[in-house]
Chain A
Amino acid sequence: MSENSIISLQNVNKWFGDFQVLQDVNLEVKKKERIVVCGPSGSGKSTMIRCINRLEEHQEGTIIVDGIELTGNLKNIDSVRREVGMVFQQFNLFPHLSVKENITLAPIWVKKMPKAEAEELAMKQLEIVKIPEQANKYPGQLSGGQQQRVAIARSLAMKPNIMLFDEPTSALDPEMIKEVLDVMIELAEGGMTMIVVTHEMGFAKTVADRMVFMDEGRIVEEAAPDKFFNNPESDRTKLFLSQILNH
């Protein structure tokens, strides 16, 4: 693990039954670095970032997040999850709680924050994602884009050092994608360490410090966006980019 890495994956292997989803994955992420992960479906991108907060368990190799190694140790898992926020493709808001309650829940229960303070924090987060007026509605009453922004606010309320995005715009109607990406760009400009799995190449060009291309469970190519889009090394990357950019 290099000195200033905040996330470090070393020779990570993972199987679902007989099927190997991750093969010898090595990835170092520095503090405040923005990584965009892309690749065809089934290439293991989601599985990789889900291993970083232990929603999936890796079977071989080492994953170290902010100096804490992820093993079966529940205490370590809890401390890593407090460091790492995650945004899902399907938003996964809690439908029985109001928007405000969705956001205050973890600060109140995990950080033992007083309720009034947590609510103030929630309103601040909602202003960051530009929907403070929706605080008392329920998730089912919001549009997809609004729901995803609430999900981002919910993660941010825990003051994470790292944010993981698992295809955050894939379930959205086209006209709602921009409002979510705008929030993410602002977050990136604020200096958040981010790993984003996405097919939004425009977004990748704007914010990424480094592109990671995966196929069949391996990291095929890692490069700065400029080089990645204009002069990729691997043929597999070229093929993927030609398919994704040419329509």
Chain B
Amino acid sequence: MNINYQQSRKPPVATTGVIGWLRMNLFSNWFNTLVTIIVAYFLYQIVPWFLNWSVFEADFTRNYLGEVIIDRTGCSRVADPENHSGACWSIIIVRFYQFVYGFYPREEVWRVNVVYFLLVVALVPLLYEKFPVRKQFLKFTYIFPIIGFYLLYGGPGLEIVMTNKWGGLLVTLVLGFVGIALAFPIGIILALGRRSNLPVISMICTLFIEFIRGVPLITLLFFGMVMLPLFLPEGLNMDGLIRVLVAVTLFQAAYMAEVIRGGLQAIPRGQYEAAQSVGLTYWQMNRKIILPQAIRITIPSIVNTSIGLFKDTTLVVIIGLLDLLGIGRGALADATWMGLSNEVYVFVAIVFFIFTFSMSRYSLYLEKKLKTGINMGAD
């Protein structure tokens, strides 16, 4: 019998599974393939080298001879540079307390730890929308700054710890979180003010925003340190950290205002008209209709400026506050640990990266969460 078999075709290219994923995302055409290979080569060069330097060949508390490291000469890479090149993390470990708390008195440090813990508690309702007792927690989030300040600074029942003893991560977080948290509402007010129909209010807000934006943060920090006290009534001496906080907050508020104003401009006029026609007042309209939509569309920019501010807080080292980076530089200036700048800067960079990367992830989460109902064809 003569059967004419149809020529069998090749199976279709896989688009699922590991192979399919690789093919789709990394090798879809010759250009992507080339890029993939180049990137893979660089990763191959860098990742093992970095892991060796930072982990496998690194000293933590003891050097290659098994001795406890107490100064730079104990480090393997200083003692025997020919055979050892790994990082010497002892500088971080020995000074870990300073990096985290600055010069906060050791017998009072539990207060800082409590604040760190409460900060996490305060963030929970913001991070998990489905958290069971979210409403009660949010109330706590609002009063947390007051509790935090009382615990850190002291007051009735607690010994006062002057802010010049604060340092390291503590200062970085206080500046970053307080700056961002206070600048947000002020920025909203400024943005609304700039768009106000009342010429005086609009002009004041515009002038304020343009002045602050037109000046580098460092100038504002100097302004806070040197000039702010001149404006205060005699005898009222403002704390150094608070003066810096004022400068940082004003700076951030001006940027936040412009970001939010951009969002406000994107809201169609019909939304204002509909809100007015059902009788909402100006503030109700903004609070319930306009701002929720404006903030939603500006979340990426809001987080972007917030990350910017968080990193800019390192500038306070110039006016003598010792934030995380300042403590690091202080450690390097110490003769017993001189020359270990790689370790210090890598450590500081990693800490900053953890915080900024979390912020960026949080922003993506918010965008996803708030997508419901909006941009779905509604005018």
Interface residues in chain A, defined as those with a beta carbon under 8 Å from any beta carbon in chain B = 53, 55, 78, 81-82, 84-86, 88, 90-98, 105-106, 109-110, 138-141, 147, 151, 154-155, 158
B229-248 contacts to A, CB under 8 A, are: none
Contacts of B276 in A (CB 8 A): 53, 55, 81
Chain B 89-127, CB within 8 Å of chain A: the 1/0 string? 000000000000000000000000000000000000000
A58 to B104, CA, bound (A): 66
B280 at the interface (CB under 8 A from A): yes
Q: Which of A82, A95, A109, A139 contacts B293 (CB 8 A)?
A: A95
Contacts of A86 in B (CB 8 A): 273-274, 277
A92 to B271, CA, bound (A): 6
B157 at the interface (CB under 8 A from A): no
B198 at the interface (CB under 8 A from A): no
How far, in Å, is A181 (CB) from chain B's closest CB?
A: 20
Binds A, one of B27-35, B78-86, B370-378: B370-378
Contacts of B292 in A (CB 8 A): 96
How far, in Å, is A55 (CB) from chain B's closest CB?
A: 5
Let me know if A158 and B373 touch, CB within 8 A.
no
Let me know if A78 and B279 touch, CB within 8 A.
yes
A158 to B281, CA, bound (A): 14
A190 to B334, CA, bound (A): 87
Chain B 285-308, CB within 8 Å of chain A: the 1/0 string? 000110011001000000000000
Interface residues in chain B, defined as those with a beta carbon under 8 Å from any beta carbon in chain A = 268, 270-271, 273-281, 284, 288-289, 292-293, 296, 370, 372-379
List 4 other contacts, CB 8 Å, given A55-B276, A78-B279, A96-B296.
A86-B273, A110-B281, A139-B378, A140-B376
Contacts of A154 in B (CB 8 A): 274, 278
Question: Known contacts being A88-B270, A92-B270, A141-B373, is A110 close to B279, with CB within 8 Å?
Answer: yes
Let me know if B378 and A140 touch, CB within 8 A.
yes
Q: Which of B271, B281, B293, B370 contacts A78 (CB 8 A)?
A: B281
Contacts of B270 in A (CB 8 A): 88, 90, 92
In this complex, the member of B277, B372, B378 whose beta carbon has the largest number of chain A beta carbons within 10 angstroms is B277
Contacts of B288 in A (CB 8 A): 105, 109
A84 to B273, CA, bound (A): 13
Let me know if B280 and A140 touch, CB within 8 A.
no
Q: Which 9 A-B pairs have the closest CB atoms?
A: A140-B376, A138-B373, A92-B274, A106-B278, A92-B270, A95-B378, A86-B277, A140-B378, A110-B279
A44 to B172, CA, bound (A): 59
A146 to B49, CA, bound (A): 62
Question: Known contacts being A109-B288, A110-B284, is A158 close to B378, with CB within 8 Å?
Answer: no
Q: Residue of B at shortest CB range from A84?
A: B277
Q: Residue of B at shortest CB range from A50?
A: B273
How far, in Å, is B214 (CB) from chain A's closest CB?
A: 33
What are 10 A-B pairs with beta-carbon distances under 8 A?
A92-B379, A96-B373, A98-B373, A105-B289, A106-B279, A138-B376, A138-B378, A141-B376, A147-B378, A155-B277
Q: Residue of B at shortest CB range from A91?
A: B379
A240 to B358, CA, bound (A): 64
Question: Known contacts being A138-B373, A139-B373, is A94 close to B271, with CB within 8 Å?
Answer: yes
Q: Which of B273, B277, B376 contacts A85 (CB 8 A)?
A: B277
Q: Residue of B at shortest CB range from A78?
A: B279
Question: Known contacts being A81-B278, A91-B379, A110-B280, is A140 close to B374, with CB within 8 Å?
Answer: yes
How far, in Å, is B55 (CB) from chain A's closest CB?
A: 47
